[in-house]
Amino acid sequence: MEIHLKSLISRGKIRKRIEELGQKITEDFNSRDLLIVAPLKGSFVFCSDLVRSISLPLRIDFMELSSYSDGSVSSGKVKIIKDLTHDIRRKHVLLVEDILDTGLTVATALNILSSRNPESISLVVFLDKKKTEIVPEYTGFEIDDEFVVGYGMDYRGYYRNLEYVGVLDQKNKDSTDSMLDRRKV
């Protein structure tokens, strides 16, 4: 089965913007003890490229939070699946998120991190749908309220490996669902 997605952001545009973000973060965090926190799974591709564009010594830790069950609609409840391994007290934390949509997961992550007494917390988001009052310090791209996949973001676990960001419309969701249902047999 072949799925054709409308390309929203090309790999070239992504690379250019991540280099710009990396330079700005390098300037802003110069001489600080920087700890990158990347929520899994969606942010891992963005985080991987971003940290390589930051010209500072830094550490990385991961947590996994989820507000989606297995589809495209938020459940409205965020659960911690994997917590951090590093102590973040007195560290300058940069939370790296793939997408700022409803803000529920990001707000929960920021609250959890704030309760652990870091020196500072900043937020970088790859994509911002501008639907919430949360204002990131760093934004890759602002997008419309469409369901997007690729570059780490998924639908039912698929499409994370795309090198670009594409729009997954209802027809492609239905095709993906049909493919997955056939695989269960």
Kindly list the structural domains of the chain, giving each domain's residue range(s) and its CATH number in brackets, ordered by start.
Answer: 10-143 (3.40.50.2020)
What pLDDT does 80 receive?
87
Q: Kindly write down the DSSP assignment for every residue of 67-108, as one continuous string.
A: EESSSSSEEEEEEEEE--SS--TT-EEEEEEEEESSSHHHHH
Place of tokens 């997961």: 105
pTM (2 d.p.):
0.88
Q: What is the mean pLDDT of residues 158-185?
A: 82
Is the model's pLDDT at 147 over the cut of 90?
A: yes
Is 101 assigned a catalytic role? yes
- Report how far residue 87's alpha carbon sits from residue 94's, in angstroms, rounded to the nearest whole number: 14
- The active-site residue out of 49, 98, 101, 154 is 101
Is the model's pLDDT at 173 over the cut of 90?
A: no
What pLDDT does 51 receive?
98
Is the model's pLDDT at 3 over the cut of 70?
A: no
On the 0-12 / 13-18 / 19+ scale of CB atoms within 10 A, 89 is exposed
